[in-house]
Structure 1
Amino acid sequence: MTTLSPATSLRDTATLTGRVLRHWQRSPVTILIGLLFPVLMVLMFGYLFGGAMAVPDGDYMDFLIPGMLAMTMLFGLEAMVIAVTTDTAKGVTERIRAMPVTTTAILAGRSAADLLNAVVGLAVMVLTGLLVGWTAHRGLPLTLAALGLLVWLRFAFTWIGIYLGLLLKTPESAVSVQILVWPVGFLSSAFVSPGTMPGWLGTIAAWNPLSATATAIRQLFGNPDWNAHGWPTEHAVALALIWPALLTAIFLPLAARRYRALSR
């Protein structure tokens, strides 16, 4: 790898982003399943379990959709780990490293492609929400702000996924990421209020980065919550900005360092 100009680095980033998109184009079924899985969860939780959920001042579906939008951002972490480990196992990563491109372009290309996938996933989920009766009540600017918080969360999860993928190295070991993804997802306010959990568990759930974003976008959309009180709820928008920034500040440098150390 060599030191290149910013313009060349941007061009390399675009090229490597295109590589990932072309790979997805050749595997449409995998992408389709990834997009439809959150839709299935909305239907399952909304219609099978939703009748048992009583949300104060609102409908459970209006509570569920923001939570599922946040969960959709988390689901991308596992896919990222598998993609990175697959490239490493097939020797693709080493071949790219031998080319005159910067580490920034290589990792940024993967991240940019994932964010594009996240935007498509958000569009599918928003359409699904509208079809099942969900509505954003507070106007276009706040709705766009909520969607921006979701993409910001996904950006942080992307770098966690890249780092774990470089750390684990093989697709088989990437399955272990499920042990991380599912507890983080369900130990949150995505589906139920942390106030319904045992005290210590509810505290962990309330401070979960996923809960911060889910609560923040409910407030921005004007959707119902369980009217819980406490610092994490009252400052949810601030936490939804801070948590991804903190995670990115930790895992982006770790991913770059791990990538540089692959050949050692």
Structure 2
Amino acid sequence: MSTLLSDGGAVLTRQLQKARHAPALLVLTQTMPITMLLFFGYVFGSALAMPGAEYREFLVPGLLAATAAGGLMTGMFTAAQDAHRGVTDRFRTLPMSRAAVPLGQTAADLLTTAAGTVPLMLVGLAMGWRVESGWAGALGAFGVLLLFRFAMAWVGTYLGLISASEEAAGQLGSATFVLPLLSSAYLPTAGMPSWLRAVAEWNPISAVATAVRELCGNAGAEAAAGAAWPAAHPVAGSVAWSLALLLVFVPLATRRFARGRG
């Protein structure tokens, strides 16, 4: 365990230094949610049944959940870039734990996400979003978001390691943009057609978004009648989704890293 942590820490430091010297992707991924918050909050909000302020209170947790889900894209891109540029092969020749490299990569993503979430929250506060449940609720919501981001980063790491090329990983990562649209991140599920509502309520992003709303005491935290289990129990559902993804993709990514691309 000590070897894993020390080796993972070395990879973590390498990833943070890499991000510092190439900040373009980091800036893009952190500014996009703010742009979407301003656009959805002030453009779409006026066209919805919810009043503008109430919709922005609904929207901010949804965008936080969508940002957490972005670990799928960044994990995929990072792993594919290292794998197809020979960095992963060089790591594999070193006397280090096989889980250290994916652990360091996902931990670095988690730290940058934690820091990058702060500007989004500040803009949300300026637009009228409030945490009505106090510090305990805010910390619980932040924990749910980080756990889900960590799980999605492991999913992305595995997909990046099995990708056919760096370009293919980038294209697939860009396609994941649609996932929050098929959830309750931006709109309540109550008005959706029955088949689409079922898809949205079983989408892990919906559970996380609703859990953040519930923990923060925001609008839209109440599940509609007949909602699927993750939507009816969002906190438990989001934790269950995250743990299930970790149980599946941590060993898959570790074994794939150890085996290589052959």
* Structure 1 gaps, min length 5: 1-5
Q: Give the Cα–Cα distance (whole angstroms) in 2 for the partners of residues 99 and 143 of structure 1.
A: 41
Q: Give the Cα–Cα distance (whole angstroms) in 2 for the partners of residues 32 and 173 of structure 1.
A: 22
Q: Give the Cα–Cα distance (whole angstroms) in 2 for the partners of residues 189 and 212 of structure 1.
A: 8
Residue in structure 1 matching 2:133, options 115, 135, 138: 138
Alpha-carbon shift at residue 160 of structure 1 (Å)? 0.5
Give structure 1 regions of 4+ aligned residues with deviation exceeding 4 angstroms: none
Q: Give the Cα–Cα distance (whole angstroms) in 1 for the partners of residues 160 and 70 of structure 2.
A: 15
8 Å CA contact 1:72–1:121 kept in 2: the answer is no
Structural mapping, 1:42-121, within 5 Å: 42-55=37-50, 59-121=54-116
Distance 1:34 1:182, change over 3 A: closer
Residue 244 of structure 1 corresponds to 242
Residue in structure 2 matching 1:156, options 151, 155, 160: 151
TM-score calculated relative to the size of structure 1: 0.93
SS for the counterpart of 2:149 is helix
Q: Which amino acid aligns with 2:158?
A: Y
Alpha-carbon shift at residue 51 of structure 1 (Å)? 0.3
TM-score calculated relative to the size of structure 2: 0.93
Q: Which amino acid aligns with 1:10?
A: L
Would you say 1:260 and 2:258 are equivalent positions? yes
SS for the counterpart of 1:127 is helix
Deviates more, 1:210-219 or 1:165-174: 165-174
Q: Give the Cα–Cα distance (whole angstroms) in 1 for the partners of residues 2 and 254 of structure 2.
A: 20
* Structure 2 gaps, min length 5: none
Q: Give the Cα–Cα distance (whole angstroms) in 2 for the partners of residues 49 and 57 of structure 1.
A: 9
Query: How many residues are paired up?
Result: 259
Q: Which amino acid aligns with 1:65?
A: V
Q: Give the Cα–Cα distance (whole angstroms) in 2 for the partners of residues 37 and 183 of structure 1.
A: 14
Residue 165 of structure 1 corresponds to 160
Alpha-carbon shift at residue 182 of structure 1 (Å)? 2.4
8 Å CA contact 1:138–1:222 kept in 2: the answer is yes
Q: Which amino acid aligns with 2:159?
A: L
Would you say 1:214 and 2:209 are equivalent positions? yes
Q: CA RMSD in A?
A: 1.8
Residue 3 of structure 1 corresponds to none
Give percent identity, aligned residues only: 38
Q: Which amino acid aligns with 1:207?
A: W
Alpha-carbon shift at residue 57 of structure 1 (Å)? 11
